[in-house]
Chain A
Amino acid sequence: MSECTINVNDVYKTFNVYLDKASTVKEKLLFFSRNKMEKRQVLKGINLKINKGEVVALIGTNGSGKSTLLKLMTKILYPNKGTIEINGKLTSLLELGAGFHPDFSGRENIYFNASIFGLTKKEIDEKIDNIIEFSELESFIENPVRTYSSGMFMRLAFAVAINVNADILLVDEILSVGDEHFQNKCIDKMIDLKRQGKTMVFVTHSMETVRKLCDRAVWLCDGRVKMDGDVNKVIEKYVEATK
């Protein structure tokens, strides 16, 4: 069980923040000296090993680099220095329903969204009933997604993402989906996935969820790992520090 699924090795990430961005050739030529740029270092040498089956929470204040770290893991962003190794199929729930097309029906969007996660038609065919059942949108599934309420939209998106059957799941601050009933259902599903031995990484500010789901917490502060270890101990220190 000590097989390493995510290995973050001395990762640095810097964003270029333009104060006065010259995005056109004209501006670049005319104002090349004026092109002020500020380098903002978001991650400063992160080392993190996550083993198979571990459920880890990333905690920290806003701007501490949690979401950036998740984006690096899913290969939306790439590090400036250091390496990230991923072993296994990875799905990220960073932003729900990113690929949804408002004019297509719920069912069509399930197919499209699931294909973004790398599923084949056959695999989606097998899962579609589960997805619809989980979303509890049976009677609306043929309607275009633009007619959905935001809660319904989120439920559909979450139902797709959770049924992708990945080995590694990255979740960013989305467990506040829908009403309390649906939230509990999501957490139950997460616990179920945990039992199946999936690796999960959460970013959340809800310490209650962290306690319920995770066995390890990593506290990021100012782009560095401040504390890493047993969930209760880390939260205790974290809450103390942020008081």
Chain B
Amino acid sequence: MTGVFKNLYNYRELLKTSVKKEVRSKYKNSFLGVLWSFLNPLLQILVYAIIFSLILNNKQEHYAIFLCCGLIPWTFFSTSINKAAFTFVENGNIIKKVYFPREIIPISVVTAETINFLISTIIILGFVIFGGIGISKYIVFYPIILIAQYLIILSISFIVSSVCIYLRDLQHFIGVLLQLLFYAVPIVYSQEDLPMQYQWILKYNPLTYIINAYRDIFYYQTSIEIVPILILILASIILLIIAYMVFNRLQKGFAEQL
């Protein structure tokens, strides 16, 4: 196990440049550039706010703020997984020709998305400040929630990115799956809104706890449920180890499959 970290440490410069390239390439050639990091989620919030609060008549107070606390962390999750699914096929050219620790690629995808998420957090802050809710001291929990989320995303990305090379269909299936999952997490509605018989869906979904925790610190201005988050971190670490082992087994065939 220490060998893994040592190898990654030796290739830290590659990790750094890959993350930079990933962040920079996102809005390369677009006129508004990095501004899209703000515009994209803002427009999304606008769309959902119109649909759910105007058309479907959602009664949630400050609905746009409520929405944004869930939607932005969700976007972090879904774009990372989506990108992870395609990343090795896109980078096939170097995979076939040079050796470097393959895990650098999913790690840099997820890390680049983390940076984008950090930038997008400014939107949440903007919403709560200008929406009249304000900022609470509970914001100190933000890094803990972020760590839990990062670990979950990274584990899933390891599995998704490596399996997708062998089963290309999965890439497209993941998009649909993510869309379904979107409604299985309390993003556009709150947990209490769901009928009792469906509550189990949210209960067994780790993302529920993540989204609720973000909402607690930004929207409800209360402390988070610390125990579920800590259990989540612990579970994600175990999942990450398993995911890495799967990845490591599959990566041996990458060059042949691409």
**A residues near B, CB below 8 A?**
15-16, 23-26, 71, 74-78, 90, 92, 94-95, 98-99, 101, 111-112, 114-121, 124
Option from B13, B93, B256 in Cβ contact (under 8 Å) with A120: B13
Could you tell me if A15 and B256 are in contact, using CB atoms closer than 8 angstroms? yes
Q: Mark B1-35, 1 if CB is under 8 A from A, else 0.
A: 00000000011111011000100000000000000
Instruction: Please tell me the size bucket of the interface on B.
Output: 20 to 34
**Further contacts, 20 of them, CB under 8 A, given A26-B169, A118-B14, A119-B13:** A23-B168, A25-B167, A74-B99, A76-B99, A77-B256, A78-B252, A78-B253, A90-B99, A94-B97, A95-B97, A98-B93, A98-B94, A98-B98, A99-B98, A111-B13, A111-B17, A115-B11, A116-B14, A118-B13, A120-B12
- How many pairs of A and B residues are in contact by the CB < 8 Å rule? 63
**Given the complex, which residues of A lie within 8 Å of B253, measured CB to CB?**
78
B230 within 8 A of A: no
Option from A25, A71, A78 in Cβ contact (under 8 Å) with B169: A25
Given contacts A24-B168, A116-B94, A120-B13, are A101 and B21 in contact (CB under 8 A)? yes
B255 within 8 A of A: yes
Please list 14 pairs of residues, one from A and one from B, whose beta carbons are closer than 8 Å in the complex, sorted by A's number: A24-B169, A25-B167, A25-B169, A26-B169, A71-B255, A74-B99, A75-B99, A76-B97, A95-B98, A98-B98, A112-B21, A118-B10, A118-B13, A120-B12
Q: Measured between alpha carbons, how far is A99 from B96 in the docked complex, in Å?
A: 11
B100 within 8 A of A: yes
Q: Measured between alpha carbons, how far is A64 from B16 in the docked complex, in Å?
A: 39
Q: Measured between alpha carbons, how far is A74 from B96 in the docked complex, in Å?
A: 11
Residue on A nearest B253 in the bound complex, by CB: A78
Q: Report the 5 A-B pairs with minimum CB-CB distance, sorted nearest first.
A: A98-B97, A115-B13, A78-B252, A115-B14, A95-B97
**Given the complex, which residues of A lie within 8 Å of B100, measured CB to CB?**
116-118
Residue on A nearest B12 in the bound complex, by CB: A120
Q: Measured between alpha carbons, how far is A216 from B11 in the docked complex, in Å?
A: 33
Q: Measured between alpha carbons, how far is A76 from B101 in the docked complex, in Å?
A: 10
**Given the complex, which residues of A lie within 8 Å of B14, measured CB to CB?**
115-116, 118
Q: How far is the CB of A172 from chain B (nearest CB, A)?
A: 10
Q: Measured between alpha carbons, how far is A115 from B252 in the docked complex, in Å?
A: 21
Could you tell me if A121 and B96 are in contact, using CB atoms closer than 8 angstroms? no
Q: Measured between alpha carbons, how far is A124 from B11 in the docked complex, in Å?
A: 13
Q: Measured between alpha carbons, how far is A82 from B95 in the docked complex, in Å?
A: 23
**Given the complex, which residues of B lie within 8 Å of A116, measured CB to CB?**
14, 94, 98, 100
Give the one of A23, A26, A124 with max B CB within 10 A: A23
**Given the complex, which residues of A lie within 8 Å of B95, measured CB to CB?**
76
